[in-house]
């Protein structure tokens, strides 16, 4: 079983729509959680950390559910520029190593 699993998508949504997707992790000892954004043929870039109480950064909201071992990302009022692959990233043992999901592709259409 993979340590971090994501629905690959693609999620095709119109501009202005809300899109949400989850990521599950297998190790209950996981300590830190992140969402990264990766554009085609570019490096991953940190979008946001995910905190236990949930957190928001503009149009992006991240939630953590430790009981069910998943994190979620919600994008409100989607923009064309939100089209990207979103990587779920988990720090398993708090030891400076990260585990990456394969990514969820989001395409926002005009």
Partner 1 sequence: DAGITQSPRHKVTETGTPVTLRCHQTENHRYMYWYRQDPGHGLRLIHYSYGVKDTDKGEVSDGYSVSRSKTEDFLLTLESATSSQTSVYFCAISPGNEQFFGPGTRLTVL
Nearest-CA neighbor of 4 among 91, 100, 93, 68? Answer: 100
Q: How many residues bind partner 1 (CB under 8 A)?
A: 22
Q: Write out the two tokens for 47.
A: 């979008």
96 near partner 1 (CB under 8 A): yes
Closer to partner 1 by Cβ: residue 53 or 110: 53
Q: C-alpha angle 22/25/29, rounded to 5°? A: 135
Report, in Å, the least distance between residue 91 CB and partner 1: 5
Among residues 11, 25, 34, 86, the one that binds partner 1 under rule CB under 8 A: 34
């Amino acid at each position: 079983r993979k340590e971090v699993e994501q629905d690959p998508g693609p999620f095709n949504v119109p501009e202005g729509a809300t899109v949400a997707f989850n990521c599950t992790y297998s190790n209950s000892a996981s300590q830190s959680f992140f969402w990264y954004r990766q554009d085609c043929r570019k490096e991953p870039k940190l979008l946001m950390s995910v905190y236990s109480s949930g957190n928001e950064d503009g149009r992006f909201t991240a939630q953590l559910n430790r009981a069910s071992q998943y994190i979620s990302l919600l994008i409100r009022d989607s923009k064309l520029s939100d089209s990207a692959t979103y990587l779920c990233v988990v720090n398993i043992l708090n030891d400076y190593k990260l585990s990456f999901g394969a990514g969820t592709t989001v395409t926002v259409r005009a």
